[in-house]
Amino acid sequence: MTKTTQTGSDVIVIGAGLAGLTAAVHAVQTGATVRLIAQGWGQQIVTPGWISVCDRAKDDVIAELRGYAALHPAHPYALAGDEGMIDCLERFRAITKAIGVPYGACVKAGHNLRLTTLLGAIQTPLLAPASMVSGDLTGVTGEILLVSFTGWRDFYPALAASNLAKQGITARAVLVDAPGAPQAWDLWPVELARRFDDPALRQRVIDQLRPHVQNAAKIGFPAVVGLEQHVEALADCTQQLERPCFEIATLPPSVPGTRLSNRLRRWLLRQRARVQIGHPVVHGIVENRRCVGVDVGALGHTNPFYADQFILATGGLYNGGIQSDESGRLWEPIFDLPVKGPGGTGREKWYHANLLVHRGHAVHRHTGLRVNTRMQPLDADGAPVLDNVYAAGHLLTGFNPLTDGCAEGIALATALKAVQVALALEAQKSY
């Protein structure tokens, strides 16, 4: 239970993305007092909300990942250890179930899901919100009905249907009036989701859909079916339309990501953890290779917060955890930890003749913090820089979040490992 002492809390987690939030959850579950500090919400609000672990795996995902980690010892998966991978996924499923945003997996155990996007492309995460899992295309034979709202700019289901057809999946498009809004053009997913919370508004959508269901095997909605009452909202659609209804990830803001963030925050607050979103940690207070506290940039004056252990989960180059300037310099703004980059002088290695280069641009693959198996950031000689600061998530080097299809898996695995080491839960193990 969190309480202040002269020295502060047991753990300060910096960052409110998937790594930061789950690190805070793990730490609270072990009984630690936790303070989470972040400049803003993390990227789960602009991403689909599913968990990519190893998107390219054709069959057993964990086996593929083990093989990959064995060949790439500097990859974050290899550093975090593969036994932690299964553990972190199970823990994630348990906490999301407990807070009412359950996540599910493919019926073929250990396999990736096959989920359509709004364009009709197929994405293959390992876990997804249960509302998306019911749209898994694995082994689907019947016709899929894709639903959008007349005039809404974010989803053209006919386009998705024609793209799915090219991949051998039969799909049909239908447009209905958006719930409670004559003008759907400018509606945000979150706004639509709130309307789906309202049973009366939801009913109008269901009633319009009934004549279009026909032979459809499944019905796909954009992921706006409820915000607070989303489990009830989707169950209502499924029950009344007598077909499995599912959600398809939308453009930002992501309703599934918002649901997850909101519920995790509520859970953390109810456990009496502190959740401070809005002001950046500007500086680490370091004494003899130990971090004793962090200064938060605030109105009027900075505010210090003290703790015994620190989990740094501030994100990578795109998320503010690593900064750059026009000279090509890369730096970590809180502790000035050594940042590995693509090399070269200036930014010449950041670019490529092709926009979509296979395996991604070097700046994405290489930029980040090097850590050891204890998730401690390392200096040029491979020694830990600070004794009680652990890094997790996008901040790490050795993988390409844009092309490897493992961003969320790395966030979960490294966050769990960081907390276990920070709270000495693995004391018996050797490193």
Partner 1 sequence: MTDNAQHLIDLTAFTADHCLKCNICTAACPVASITPLFPGPKTVGPQAQRMRLPGAPSPDHSIDYCSGCGICTLVCPHGVRVMEINTQAKAQMTATHGISLRNWFLSRNERWGRLGTPFAPLINFGLRLWLARWFAEKAVKISARAPLPRWAGYTFRGWWKKQVRQHPRPAPASDAQRVVYFHGCSTNTYEPHIGKLAVAVLEHLGLYVEIPPQTCCGLPAQSNGDFKAARRYARKNIAFLVDYARRGIPIVGTSASCMTAIKGDYQHVLGLDDPDAQLVAEHTYDFMEFLAKLHREGKLPTDFHPIERELPYHAPCQLKAHGMGRPALDVLDLIPGLRCWEIDADCCGIAGTYGFKAEKRAIAETVGKPIAEQVEAASAEVVVCDTETCRWQITSLTNATTIHPVELVAQAYGLTVDRYTPPVTARQM
Residues of this chain that interact with partner 1 (CB under 8 A) are 2-4, 6, 35, 37-43, 45-46, 181, 183, 186, 188-191, 193-194, 227, 252-255, 258, 262, 265-266, 269-270, 272, 274-280, 296-301, 303-306, 315, 319-320, 325
How far from each other are the two terminal CA atoms of the chain, in whole angstroms? 30
**Could you tell me the smallest distance in angstroms from the CB atom of residue 368 to partner 1?**
18
Q: Closer to partner 1 at the Cβ: 258 or 376?
A: 258
**Could you tell me the smallest distance in angstroms from the CB atom of residue 305 to partner 1?**
7
Q: Closer to partner 1 at the Cβ: 254 or 309?
A: 254
Q: Closer to partner 1 at the Cβ: 195 or 218?
A: 195
290: CB partners within 8 A, 6+ apart: 386, 387, 388
Q: Closer to partner 1 at the Cβ: 81 or 189?
A: 189
- Encoded tokens for 222: 């954009």
Give CA–CA dist 53/47, Å, rounded: 14
- CB distance 31 to 404 below 8 Å: no
Q: Which of 210, 211, 268, 215 is nearest to 239 (CA)?
A: 210
Tell me the residue ranges of DSSP E strands in 136-262. 143-149, 171-176, 216-222, 245-248
Q: Closer to partner 1 at the Cβ: 76 or 315?
A: 315
**Could you tell me the smallest distance in angstroms from the CB atom of residue 369 to partner 1?**
19
Report how far apart, in Å, the C-alpha atoms of 181 and of each of 187, 196, 254 are: 9, 12, 20
Q: Closer to partner 1 at the Cβ: 155 or 305?
A: 305
**Could you tell me the smallest distance in angstroms from the CB atom of residue 392 to partner 1?**
17
Give CA–CA dist 148/348, Å, rounded: 44
- Encoded tokens for 89: 């996924």
**Could you tell me the smallest distance in angstroms from the CB atom of residue 139 to partner 1?**
34
Indicate the SS3 state at residue 71: helix
**Could you tell me the smallest distance in angstroms from the CB atom of residue 334 to partner 1?**
15
**Could you tell me the smallest distance in angstroms from the CB atom of residue 101 to partner 1?**
14
One-letter amino acid for residue 372 of the chain: N
The helix or strand, by DSSP H or E, that contains position 189, with its residue range, turns out to be: helix 189-197
Q: Closer to partner 1 at the Cβ: 40 or 328?
A: 40
Give CA–CA dist 247/238, Å, rounded: 11
Q: Closer to partner 1 at the Cβ: 156 or 306?
A: 306
**Could you tell me the smallest distance in angstroms from the CB atom of residue 276 to partner 1?**
5
- CB distance 377 to 337 below 8 Å: yes
Report how far apart, in Å, the C-alpha atoms of 198 and of each of 63, 204, 419 are: 44, 10, 40
Q: Closer to partner 1 at the Cβ: 325 or 381?
A: 325
**Could you tell me the smallest distance in angstroms from the CB atom of residue 42 to partner 1?**
7
Give CA–CA dist 107/109, Å, rounded: 6
